[in-house]
Structure formats: structure tokens, C-alpha cells
Amino acid sequence: MAMAAARLFLCLVSSLALVTFSSCSLSLASDQRDTDRVTRLPGQTESPSVSQFSGYVTVNEPNGRTLFYWFFEAQTPPEEKPLLLWFNGEANLLFLESPAGVGFSYTNTSSDIERVNDEFVAEDAYSFLVHWLERFSEYKDTEFYISGESYAGHYVPQLAELVYERNKDKRGKAYINLKGFIVGNPVTNDSYDSKGRAEYAWSHAVVSDEVYSRIKKHCDFKISNLSDDCNAAMDFIDSQYQEIDAYNIYAPKCLLNQSSASSTNHGIFVNDQFKRRKHIFSGYDPCYSSHAEDYFNKQEVQKAFHANVGKWHICSDPVLNFYNFTVSSVLPIYSKLIKAGLRVWLYSGDADGKVPVIGSRYCVEALGLPIKTQWQPWYLDKQVAGRFVESYGMSMVTVRGAGHKAPPAEALLLINTFLRGEQLPTHR
């Protein structure tokens, strides 16, 4: 599955402890769980070694707002492993299509699409977690971590903050044993992200010295409204990425016909609020978008998923077009949750031109955390896989040669190390 416009995959290693269940509600939850079991997907081996479930969880009954999920249980005793929720290894892995209106998730109230913003997404994700853990109550006591990439750089810490605050209410419906979050190539702070995008394009020979001089002259990234001259220069950077893959500048560009929703020549960015987050959502996409849409639009696949039969898109133009960008920085949330003792990691592929590592380094620096261990390489299969620095309360990791999405082997080692609370390998 891809993470795209306002699609969210939360990678959560979750532990949610619900207060009470009646025997009736437990029975209904168990019945629904059995209904959600996926016995086999088209193209999958006859006897997959991992149990999987998929289906719908209603997050707002009056509006008929419902989110679609896909869940994989760990192969070793799943009750003893953390639960990983992934927003657009050894842990139990839960994928979520959010907000309503993307993927298989839907709402029966059309005006919901016009109300979507970061707070809206967080509230629905929280509601999803509470209800999902009623259905899968054996996970109510496991540790809970949240993860995602790209614009989930907003979704993940905001959901973590919401869980943290709701946990303070002893009268609340549920307690979630939140332990931390990890985000990859995250959209974090408009000013630092934009500045990093400009510097990355120049330092990696995407634009000329002359263009970069214009940016330095006309762009004050500390203010919310960039000048026309600055916007023109930043738009020029986008234009220079059209012949390559901006999400991995060293990867071949996909030459297959892409869906209009995932095209780099997206035509819906007509509002000023989109200027500084332009094309961030579609994620690293050499060719998987076309393959994903082909697969998820097969009727037999949709039936196997217990999904409503209909058109599945890699991203949703209506959701993106109406999305209300109201939060310019989530750094205050980082500070708050780090102070609260949560484990926080940020990782970044160093070949991503859209949400580049330079901007992420500015963001981490702005937190002003004391350094625990200095910048150093980490290793996989006796090769340098990237570099990392540990601060008190947070770690930042780079993935060498990776774009917007981390390669499977590096990602698995990184996520497992994070979940175990360990340090990445520092020797070959």
C-alpha cells in the first residue's frame, strides 16, 4: 500500500488498555474479528505464515464515517509483541487508511471532506484505535508506538499528543499505553522544511547558483507568506524535478502511465495554502502507484479485503483539495512529548528531494536537546547504512541512498531497534 494525498499509514506499536467490556460487547467484537479475517488474497500463497485481518471500523456513527484497516499478526506469540500502526518485523502491523474519503475509507456525509484538517484526522484516528482495540482486545495491554512518514510527520505526533492528553483523564473511556513514536522523512516545520528543500536542490546540483542566489535574496522562510519572487523561485525548483524522481533523486523515473492523482504535474494546487506543501503527499513512487491501483481495483481483491467494491485510488483529489492546513509546525509537540518521557526517533533518506534531510536536521537542531552520542555511522551487512545522532530524549537517523521511503532491510533493522529501545549497530 502506498501513502499518498491525505492517506495515512500509522505505524503503531500499540498498547491500549480499555477500562471495561460487557460480555455482550466482547462477543460482538469477537464475531466481528472473525468476519474480518483474510483467508487468502489473490496472488498470495495458499497458506500464508501470518494471520491477517481487514475491514471497517466506524469512527463517527451519526455521519457514517468509517475507516478501513489491514492488520498482520506477529508470527511469534502476538500478544507478547508491540502493535505497530502505520498511517500514507516482529511487531504486529496495522495499516490504516485515513482520513475518510481516501482508499477504502468513506463517509456518508459529504461535508466531512470539507472539514478535514490535522485535528480532524487525529480525532478519527484516536476513535479508530479505541474501537479497534475493543475488537482485538487481546492487544489492550501491549505497548503502543506510532509511526508514519511524509505528512504523517504531522499526523503521528498530533495523534501521540491526543493519546497522551486523553490518558490523563482517569474517567476516560480508554487508556493507551503510549511509549513513543518514529517518523520518516517527516513534514515537521514549514520554515525549516522549505529552507531545507531549497538548499538540498542547490547542493545536489538540481538548480543553478543563479537560482539559489534568487532564493537567498527573496525568500525569508521565517514568515508564513512568501513573496511572489520567492514562490516563483521555489516553483522553479519543482519544475526541475519533473524529469527525475524528486522522492529519490538517484532512482530511475517511472515511465509507466501514472494515475492523475499521483502525477507530478498535479493541477489542483490552486489555493495559496498549498504553495509550501506542494506535492508532499504523493511519496516516493517510481512505479508502485500504477501496480497498486491495478491490484486494489480487482474485484476479487476488494472482496477478499471485505471492502466495499468500488474504485480505489492511490490518493484522493477531493480530500487534498479541501484539506485545511492549519498547523505550520509540530516542534512544540515534540518538546512536550519528549519532556513527558516518550521515545522519539526521526529518520530520513538522504536522497529525498521533497522532504530532504537538511530540513529535518534544522528541525532537530531547533529543539535544542543536549547531545548524548555524536554523529556516527550505523551498519547493515558490514556496510554503512546511514548515520545517526542521539540526543537526550530523541534520536535522528539517516538512511544512506534512500529516498522518501526506506529500503526493506534498512527499515526493518531501524524499526526493530527503535521498538527494542536499543542503539543501531556501530560496527561492521
Catalytic machinery residues: 150, 352, 404
**Is 319 within 8 Å of 369 (Cβ atoms)?**
no
**Is 321 within 8 Å of 86 (Cβ atoms)?**
no
| CA 97 – CA 79 distance, rounded (Å) | 24
- State the pairing for strand pair 83-86/144-149: parallel
Q: For residue 409, what are the CA distances in angstroms to 287, 385, 416?
A: 20, 10, 11
Contacts of 97 (CB under 8 A, 6+ apart): 1, 7, 8, 9, 67, 68, 69, 103, 104, 105
Q: Which of 412, 355, 414 is nearest to 190 (CA)?
A: 355
Residue 229: how many CB atoms within 10 A of its CB? 13
Which residue has cell 549497530? Answer: 425
Q: Which of 304, 316, 380, 257 is nearest to 88 (CA)?
A: 316
Provide the 3-class DSSP secondary structure of residue 264: coil
**Is 356 within 8 Å of 197 (Cβ atoms)?**
yes
| CA 69 – CA 84 distance, rounded (Å) | 12
